[in-house]
Amino acid sequence: MDAIKDGKIQDAEIVQVISNRLKAYGLQRARNAGIPTDYHNLKKFGQEHPELANEDQIRQGYDQALADKILNNQRERYLVVCAGWMHILSPVFLDPLERSSVPIINLHPALPNAFNGIDAIERAYHAFQEGLITKTGVMVHYVISEVDAGKPLVIKELDIVKDETCAQLEQRMHSLEWLALVEGVQLAITNM
């Protein structure tokens, strides 16, 4: 929101914020700015749909409902930005958006092909402690069905400091993430 207001991201408007975490700060910021919000949580969805018999059906229904929420609000040009979204997006979600030419980008706190999935910062920190790496980084990438394996838009490297704690590394990574996200969103918009 700030990057749009400050002109760092151009030709963009946030039209909807969806989170799978009820207390996500982005939901409150969006509400305060008058942007429509939605809490879309897998467990809650399963409880609301007892007709779905098993986890696979719940997951497919959840992902289809998420795709519908986005496609029903689609504008002429539409970009989905995953920042803090902690749910693997399945083909049930990805395929309808691809058919509708809606790109999806994701912010991930690791370099390409390193530490895909959850706990990337902690895993990089431990790899550094074991002498396996000297740097880590963040990337903004296009989302595909393989977790954190889509084509990168932005890659930013960060040297790991010898005596820093994992919490200190995490703090530096988060600062770098937001720089990468602004750059990645603008590149994705430009590429549309």
Which residue, chain included where needed, has tokens 């969806």? 18
Burial zone of 133 (CB within 10 Å; 0-12 exposed, 13-18 middle, 19+ buried): middle
The Cα–Cα gap between 18 and 31 comes to 11
Of 40, 49, 87, 108, the active-site residue reads 108
**Angle in degrees, 0-180, between the axes of helices 120-129 and 166-191, rounded to the nearest 10:** 130
Distance of CA 63 to the CA centre of its chain: 15
108 is catalytic: yes
In DSSP terms, which residues pair with 141 in a beta bridge?
106, 152
- Least Cα distance to 138 among 100, 166, 106, 162 occurs for 106
b/e map 166-177, b = 16+ CB within 10 Å? eeebbebbeebb
3-class secondary structure, 108:
strand
In DSSP terms, which residues pair with 142 in a beta bridge?
105
* Catalytic positions, written as ranges: 108
